[in-house]
Amino acid sequence: MGETRVAIVTGGSGGIGRVVAERLAKDGMKVVVNYAGNPKRAEEAVEAITAAGGSAFAFQADVADEEQVAALFDETEKTFGGVDVVVHTAGIMLVSPLADLDLADFDRMHRINVRGTFVVDQQAVRRLRRGGALINFSTSVTHIAVPNYTAYAATKGSVDGMTLILAKEMRGRDITVNAVAPGPTATPLYFDGKDQETIDRAAKAAPLERLGVPDDIAEAVSFLAGPARWVNGQVIYVNGGVV
């Protein structure tokens, strides 16, 4: 692939998304940092990429709004000439036992995690160039069945289903579709509302006896976005061996 590849990272202004954006830029891609509502953090991500010699810009879009997402892809094509990689990290996690969950919270999670994935994926598969890669974000919670994550796991189970079927719908286009499913990862989103005992217990759950860090997740994304052309239609559990 002679020309520079172009990546869109949704939710790219903070947490795992920002580290993914910086990693893909380090891999030599031009990067579009999508964000929902914090332009300062998005610009900081762009500045970090450009300071390291990369090329990036930030673009605000609600991932569940089809017009805003179409505008995100339009601006990427206009500025960088096309789209080769889409990494959809944007999502929210609201934790509660099923019996106690406010249905408004369930609807909010569904809108961002399920509809948002559908809207972003729809634009991605319409526009990705040959040799491209679409990488959704799932969760290891669907696999390890942690109490209180019922609603969140339900939204990410939908992501798994979309990913596996979409990979087959891309037949003949040389586009891979996979999902990364992180386990407990040291981000503000993960730490929010957890006491130290809960965090320590999660850190001991993996045979490697630590929490994941965003760089661990970004490494898997880099692999799927670049050299991994024979990994397709998979949900990759990036969790240090938690079962």
Can you tell me whether residue 164 is helix, strand or coil?
helix
What is d(CA 229, CA 243) in angstroms, rounded to the nearest whole number? Answer: 27
The tens-digit pLDDT sequence of the chain (243 residues) is 458 999 999 999 989 999 999 999 999 999 999 999 999 999 999 999 999 999 999 999 999 999 999 999 999 999 999 999 999 999 999 999 999 999 999 999 999 999 999 999 999 999 999 999 999 999 999 999 989 999 999 999 999 999 999 999 999 999 999 999 999 999 887 888 788 998 999 899 999 999 999 999 999 999 999 999 999 999 999 999 997
Closest CA to 6 of 64, 53, 67, 57: 57
Alpha helices (H) along the chain: 15-26, 39-51, 66-80, 103-109, 116-127, 141-144, 150-169, 188-191, 196-205, 214-225
Give the per-residue pLDDT at 34.
Answer: 98
Q: Would the pTM count as exceeding 0.85?
A: yes
Give the per-residue pLDDT at 64.
Answer: 98
What is d(CA 217, CA 107) in angstroms, rounded to the nearest whole number? Answer: 27
Q: What DSSP letter does each residue of 186-227 carry, written as one string?
A: -SHHHHTT--HHHHHHHHHHSTT-S-B-HHHHHHHHHHHHTT
Give the per-residue pLDDT at 55.
Answer: 98
> Any idea which architecture 6-234 has in CATH?
3-Layer(aba) Sandwich (3.40)
Strand partners, 57: 32
Active site residues: 152
Contact 199, 191 (CB under 8 A): yes
Closest CA to 10 of 108, 92, 131: 92
**Domain residue limits, the chain:** 6-234
For residue 193, what are the contacts with CB-CB under 8 A and spacing of at least 6?
Answer: 95
User: How remote is the C-alpha of 96 from its chain's centroid?
Assistant: 22
Give the per-residue pLDDT at 2.
Answer: 56
Give the per-residue pLDDT at 1.
Answer: 43
Strand partners, 96: none
